[in-house]
Amino acid sequence: MNVKRTFPAIALVLVVAAALTAACAKRPATTQASAPPPTAAVTPTPAPPPQALAPAAPAPAPAPPAPATPAPAPAPAAVQPPPPPAQFAENAALADIHFDFDKSAIRPADTKILEASAAWLKANPKTLVLIEGHCDERGTNEYNLALGERRAQAAQAYLVSRGVAAGRMTVISYGEERPACLEHTEACWAKNRRSHFLTKPE
């Protein structure tokens, strides 16, 4: 074997191999990266639809105003009781009037007496009056007491109609208890059927 011929051939092979190795070293190495596994598509969760707003509740109607508390009524003035009959006295300016049997109506002839009495009372406004009702002895005591009261009230009503204040007058009935005449005759009984007037300075 010829060593001199073989050596150059080996050297040439080595040079070529070295050149190829160098060339391969300069080529960038590429690695095939594996693609990431596909991920499931994320579907965005739709936002819940806005809830329909409930209609606003109507405002409550304003409460009606509380009724005004009425002011307390003033206490009625205390009514003064009339003076007792013993405080009244005879008065010649006020004459008696008389009635028919079992009647309490004012007779026409007696209206003139009451007119004069009314005029005197209006001229003396500070005078109080006590009107007594009397009967004759016929009839029961109870009946005559009621009849005497009606006679006194009739006289009072007439004086009021002529402008005398009712508050100035007090009525009382004695029935048959205080007769003006004690005889048992019609003439005497006629004197007892009467309204009698007494007065007292106010």
pLDDT tens-digit map of 57-107: 566 666 666 666 666 666 665 667 888 999 999 999 999 999 999 999 999
Give the residue from 140, 137, 134, 144 showing the smallest Cα distance to 183. Answer: 137
* pLDDT for the residue 35: 45
Domain ranges of the chain: 85-201
Which stretch of DSSP H or E encloses residue 174? Answer: strand 169-175
CA dist list (Å): 94 to 97, 134, 135, 155, 200: 9, 16, 19, 12, 12
Please list, in sequence order, all residues whose beta carbon lies within 8 angstroms of the beta carbon of residue 45, skipping any fewer than 6 positions away: none
pLDDT tens-digit map of 97-133: 999 999 999 999 999 999 999 999 999 999 999 999 9
- Is the CATH code 3.40.50.12140 the one for domain 85-201? no
What are the tokens at 127? 């005078």
pLDDT tens-digit map of 8-65: 555 565 555 555 554 444 444 444 444 444 444 445 555 555 554 555 556 666 666 6
* pLDDT for the residue 29: 42
* pLDDT for the residue 27: 47
pTM for this prediction: 0.62
